[in-house]
Amino acid sequence: MTESLMDSSELGLQEWPAEEALDRFLSELEFQKALHRPQVETVPLSLALRRITSRSVLAAMDSPHYYSAAIDGLLVRSADTFAATREHPVELSITGSTNFVEMGSPVPDGFDAVVPLCELESSSPGTVSLWRPSNPWRNVRPAGEDVQQHEVVIPKDHRISPVDIGALAAAGVERLEVYQQPRVAILTLGNHLVPAGVPPQVGQMIDSNSLTLNGLVQEIGGVPLMRPIAAERLEEAGKAIREAAREADLLLVVAGASHGTALVSRLVSDLGERVLHGVALNPCQSLVLGVVEGRPVLGLPFHPVGVFAGFEAFARPVLEQMLGPSVSQEDLPRVSATLAVPFKRNNPGSEEFLRVRMGWVDDRLVAVPEVGGASTLMSLVRASGLFRVNADVEELPARTNVAVRLLSPQRSLHNNILVLGTHDITFDLLRSIMRVTYPELTLHTSATGGMKGLQAVRAGLCHAAAIHLFDEATGEYNVPFLTQAPLPEPMVLMNLCTRNLGLIVAPGNPHNISGLGDLSRADLRFINRQKGSGTRVLLDYHLRKLGIDPDKIDGFPREVKTHMAVAAAVSSQAVDCGPGISTAARTLRLDFVPCLEERLDLLIPKRFYSRFPVAGLVQVVRSSRFKHEAAAQLGDYDFSQTGQILWESSV
């Protein structure tokens, strides 16, 4: 092999519709006999959990295998009790403790009923009286009542559950035949990757993708085979792919950062059959599907979210085919949720896995889209679930119902607090303290912008809104926006902090920017926040007061949606300055020129304010620990009003 790669057209990179790509892949696997059920093996019952039966399992014995007492009581012959009434109870002689049995005790020949102790009275020593007649076999479990010998206990193609194991044990089954678990080889390519547990040097990264796949394979019922990291070179990577394919039923190859899936596509084509390269599914558009050594091969993109999405969309269906009809994506935990804010597609025409955070607001499960690219692994960690957006959908309005696959336990959703609106670093500190004070609670925040946060809390789609809305007419924050139109329910406005808004500049402030008045300088490149954001409204207001014409500011129309996006643009030297908060500047080791103060408040419906779990958040905000730690970490913030109720509606 040569070290050069073919161009994209030769590699066949195109965006096949995801459903069509999967159908084509499965069809090719069937044609090449690369999709088959695993071999059968016999396992002891103790190791059978979640294994799939290759044949029906028959009872080896009756259960129970003898006639037994169903309750604690007195053994009797039913014929001796037929005449008993309340007016004329029947007296029976007892011969010591042998007449009394406990539940599960054998019923000896000659007896056919058990009388409960509560129906017995002692009339004289050695006798008891009873007032209720007993039918034959009253409170007696016959042999084989639960299952009879040779009866089917568990059918073929059934995934064994804990209760199945108990039933099989009671039926005398000690070993059973199951399909072997599919072996899934996991191979990562990368010139600068190190395995987890090895401290990375400068320029190296830890291979987290292989461990993510390791867990996903185990979750569905496969056996992961972790292969050593292979360098992104044709000879070495090709040898590693061939060896891994020979030992597995399915091979997952994570592409390296240098060549991406182009190298994987070339190798699969050289070593076997490449079915396709490229699917219309974000964020794994460059996925490779093929067959090597008679085994299915998936080439996954380097970025973590793409790895997860590629596995869910293509590896999971292949494994489901191998495992049989008892395993299906329909078995995955799914719930119906309502979108709290609109979602607009960045790339219409492709399906997309959308990550969401969720929580119960009253009796409605609400989902908030998670912001983050394919390389942000924490966006999966923080997400409560995900759902697929169809290729023909360009926009999903707020209140759209979506089917979400859960990534976290459903019970935890009741303890999730949803706060939408303005983002601030203080929320990270609140989360940290809440983990200690209320470990059962999770604070989910989403930087939707203050106005969208206000709209969401008005619509009952979140527990609170973080707002810093500046009213130009009065020069006040937030309250004018709450009094302009009647609120749908009583609410309170609680202060979180007062922070500085200023200009984020390069380290050392090389352009000697001193304030907003410098923005009209011809030598400065500017980046702006989006229209409608609290930062933009405040900036526009003060530029008008200063008499600065926005048209004279180089880059004023160029907009981004977050403070961190402004800081990233300055850090990359794409611009010289932009509006933001000091914490965004500090995060990227930039300098900050303070210009204005702005107040950040939490708008909370009164019905949530004093009710758990939101009451837990309120207590943490008001705690001396939060105020002390926040003041120590954020010296340019003001926490003198934190936790105070600044306004409440009269509704």
Residues 247 and 200 in one domain: yes
User: Is there a domain that residue 244 lies in?
Assistant: yes
CB 13 within 8 A of CB 268: no
Q: Which DSSP state fits 598?
A: E
635 by Cβ neighbours in 10 Å (0-12 / 13-18 / 19+) ranks as exposed
Helix (H) or strand (E) holding 594: strand 591-605
Any domain includes 1: no
- CATH assignment of the domain containing 355: 2.40.340.10
Q: What is the CATH number of the domain that holds 460?
A: 3.40.190.290
Sign of the torsion angle spanned by Cα atoms 580, 586, 591, 595 = positive
Q: What pLDDT, in 10s, does the model give residues 126-175?
A: 788 888 999 998 998 888 777 888 888 899 999 998 999 998 998 899 99
Are 230 and 323 members of one domain?
A: yes
Pick from 285, 309, 300, 304: which is nearest to 374 by CA?
304
What letter represents residue 334's amino acid?
R
Q: Are 414 and 611 in contact (CB under 8 A)?
A: no
Q: CA-to-CA distance for 571 and 559, rounded, in angstroms? A: 16
Q: Is the pLDDT of residue 97 over 60?
A: no
By CB atoms closer than 10 A (0-12, 13-18, 19+), residue 638 is: middle
Amino acid at 223: V
Between 79-83, 370-374, 421-425, 525-529, the lowest mean confidence (pLDDT) is in: 370-374
The H-assigned helical ranges of 484-550 are 534-546
Write the CATH number for 212.
3.40.980.10
Mean pLDDT of 44-59: 92
- Give the total number of structural domains in the chain: 5
Please answer whether residues 558 and 528 qualify as being in contact, where contact means their C-beta atoms are separated by less than 8 angstroms: yes
Q: How far apart are CA 415 and CA 147, in angstroms?
A: 43
DSSP state of 153: E
Same-domain status, 206 and 275: yes
For residue range 417-454, list pLDDT tens digits in order. 999 998 888 999 999 999 999 999 999 998 888 888 99
Token pair for 56: 């029906």
The answer to the question of residue 576 being in a domain is yes
- One-letter amino acid of 548: I
State whether 483 and 563 are in the same domain.
yes
Q: Is residue 167 part of a domain?
A: yes
The secondary structure of 385-403 as a DSSP string is EEEEEPTT--EE-TT-EEE
Q: Are residues 305 and 438 in the same domain?
A: no
For the segment 319-359, what is each residue's pLDDT rounded down to a tens digit?
999 988 777 665 667 889 999 988 887 666 778 888 899 99
Does some domain include residue 2? no
Tell which wins on pLDDT, 368 or 126.
368
Task: Out of 329, 354, 387, pick the residue that ends a domain.
Answer: 329
Q: What is the DSSP string of 323-343?
A: H-TT--GGGS-EEEEEESS-E
Q: What is the CATH number of the domain that holds 164?
A: 3.90.105.10
Distance CA 73, CA 117 (A): 5
> Which whole number is the average pLDDT over 395-410?
86
> Is 3 inside any structural domain?
no
Cα 311 from Cα 287, distance rounded (Å): 10
Q: What's the rounded Cα separation, in Å, for the pair 576 and 381?
A: 34
| 481: containing domain | 410-651
pLDDT bracket for residue 515 (50, 70, 90): very high
CB neighbour burial string for 292-308, b if at least 16 within 10 angstroms, e if fewer: bbebbbbbbbbbbbbbb
For residue 262, count other CB atoms closer than 10 A to its CB: 21
State the pLDDT at residue 373.
55
Question: Which residues 6+ apart lie within 8 Å of 555 measured at CB?
Answer: 525, 526, 527, 528, 575
Cis peptide before 162 (omega within 30 of 0): no
Q: Does residue 383 sit in the same domain as residue 499?
A: no
Cα radius of gyration rounded to whole Å, the chain? 34
pLDDT in tens, 28-50: 999 999 988 899 999 999 999 99
The answer to whether 370 and 356 have CB atoms below 8 angstroms apart is yes
In this structure, are 51 and 194 located in the same domain? no
User: Do 69 and 101 contact (CB within 8 A), yes or no?
Assistant: yes
Which of 357, 380, 408 corresponds to the end of one domain?
408
Cβ atoms < 10 Å from Cβ of 397: 10
Residue 482 confidence (pLDDT) above 90: yes
243 SS3 class: helix
Whether the link from the prior residue into 283 is cis, omega within 30° of 0, is yes
User: Do both 102 and 157 map to the same domain?
Assistant: no
**Reported confidence tier of residue 96, pLDDT bands at 50, 70, 90:** low
Structure-token pair, residue 12:
């066949």
Q: Are 562 and 536 in contact (CB under 8 A)?
A: no
First to last CA, the chain: 76
Boundary-marking domain end, from 346, 376, 408: 408
Q: What is the pTM of this model?
A: 0.73
**Same structural domain, 231 and 174:** no
Among residues 172, 163, 67, 70, which one has the least CA distance to residue 114? 70
Neighbour-count burial of 373, counting CB atoms closer than 10 A to its CB (0-12 exposed, 13-18 middle, 19+ buried):
exposed
**Residues 350 and 377 placed together within one structural domain of the fold:** yes
Helix H or strand E segment including 57:
strand 57-58
Taken in order 160, 166, 171, 175, the sign of the CA dihedral is positive
Residue 481 DSSP label: H
Residue 239 corresponds to which amino acid?
Answer: K
* Cis peptide, bond prior to residue 64, ω within 30 of zero: yes
| Complete edge-to-edge strand list for the sheet that includes strand 90-93 | 90-93, 127-130, 120-124
CB contact set of 163 (below 8 Å; sequence gap of 6+) = none
| Same domain for 28 and 59 | no
Look over the chain and give the mean of its residue pLDDT values, rounded to a whole number. 89
Most confident of 15-19, 113-117, 325-329, 377-381: 113-117
Q: How many CB atoms lie within 10 A of CB 450?
A: 28
pLDDT for the residue 332? 67
Residues 379 and 511 grouped into a single domain: no
